[in-house]
Amino acid sequence: MQWLTKVNRVVSHLFHPQRSNNYRPRILHPESLFAISLLAIVIGLGFIRLVPSFSQTLGSVLGYASDINVASVIAETNDQRLRLGLKPLSESPLLTLAAKKKATDMFQKQYWAHIAPDGTKPWHFMKLVGYDYRYAGENLAKNFAVTDDLLAAWMHSPKHRENILNPHYTQIGVAVSDGVLNGVETTLVVQMFGQPQHVLPAIAAGTHTSIQPHKTRSKARTKEMSESNKLNSQVLAQATISRPLIPQLKPTYSPLILIKSFFSSIGFMLMLVLVYDLVMIRENHRFRLVGKNFAHLLLLGTIMFLIFYFKAGVIG
């Protein structure tokens, strides 16, 4: 029973205003708050850096679960265009293939950027599949859970919005790929836009196309991103749209969820202690030279709100 008394003493010292802690719960003392901040940094960075190292053991438990698919991305992109009176984009199998190759390249070389570490530019993938473009553009995104949030993020960013609403673009290709990026299961979305040099007939999604190979000499014209296309181009004999049929378990936890859970618990605990401290001191009519509990509650309440509101997702 002695241990119970000791525990009671420690808990009271930490959470109850009494003489031993100068009538301020120990956990609200600056030293304790600094210690909690340090612990938060260590644990937070641990979730971000170290937990992915165990991803092989945890398997598909760790990662970002996503309900995004190619059709919904294209549909919502065209919705945005139609709202502003722009023509919808038609799906290009070549651009889709180029987007797929870009996503695969990012997973293979483990990078997240428009330009690869070896200097490979997005247009390389278009040229690789034989897409002879007059205008071209690319949007990237990762770790989004739903298409609505993804489009909202792109539309919120001037450069990405410019791509989506560019009147010069007539075709689009989208790849939604799952893989492991920096140790975390990630959903990458690559959106490629273009206007071909030569107008091709509109192709329905999911169909096979058979195009006779031919060489064309194309002149450089006005390009997006100051890219010129003076290379001879060869159209692929066949372009297909496909997604891997490997069934994948949806990840359960992401580093973000772990961080949010951890900080929410800390935040709620501190808020409860602040309220308890306020009530106790009011009842005991004690004067203390300490920070304002109500102000601390307002700040922590704001942080809690932002933690709950915060959505996953990064655009590039």
Q: Applying CB under 8 A, which residues contact other proteins? A: 28-30, 33-34, 36-37, 40-41, 44-45, 48, 153, 156-157, 255-256, 259-260, 263, 266-267, 278, 282, 289-296, 298-300, 302-303, 305-307, 309-311, 313-315
Percent helix, strand and coil across the chain, each to the nearest 5: 50, 15, 35
| Shortest Å, Cβ 13 to other proteins | 17
Q: Which is nearer to other proteins, 180 or 266 (CB)?
A: 266
Is the torsion defined by CA of 167, 224, 241, 209 positive or negative? positive
Bridge partners of 109, per DSSP, are none
Q: Which is nearer to other proteins, 149 or 227 (CB)?
A: 149
| Shortest Å, Cβ 170 to other proteins | 28
| Shortest Å, Cβ 133 to other proteins | 28
| Shortest Å, Cβ 115 to other proteins | 18
Is the Cβ–Cβ distance between 187 and 64 less than 8 Å? yes
Q: Which is nearer to other proteins, 40 or 205 (CB)?
A: 40
Q: Which is nearer to other proteins, 118 or 283 (CB)?
A: 283
| Shortest Å, Cβ 32 to other proteins | 8
DSSP secondary structure code for residue 233 in this structure: E
CA distance 212 to 174: 24
- Crossing angle for the helix pair 293-309 and 255-284, nearest 10 degrees? 160
Bridge partners of 134, per DSSP, are none
Q: Which is nearer to other proteins, 17 or 130 (CB)?
A: 17
Strand-strand pairing, 215-216 and 209-210: unpaired
Taking the CA atoms of the chain, what radius of gyration do you get in angstroms?
Answer: 27
Q: Which is nearer to other proteins, 141 or 241 (CB)?
A: 141
CA distance 207 to 210: 10
| Shortest Å, Cβ 251 to other proteins | 17
| Shortest Å, Cβ 82 to other proteins | 24
Q: Which is nearer to other proteins, 29 or 223 (CB)?
A: 29
Q: Residue 47 corresponds to which amino acid? A: F
Is the Cβ–Cβ distance between 191 and 172 less than 8 Å? yes
Strand-strand pairing, 314-315 and 133-142: antiparallel
| Shortest Å, Cβ 72 to other proteins | 19
At 82 the three-state DSSP class reads helix
CA distance 75 to 88: 9
Q: Residue 116 corresponds to which amino acid? A: A
Q: Tell me how far apart the terminal alpha carbons of the chain are, to the nearest angstrom.
A: 59
Q: Which is nearer to other proteins, 34 or 54 (CB)?
A: 34
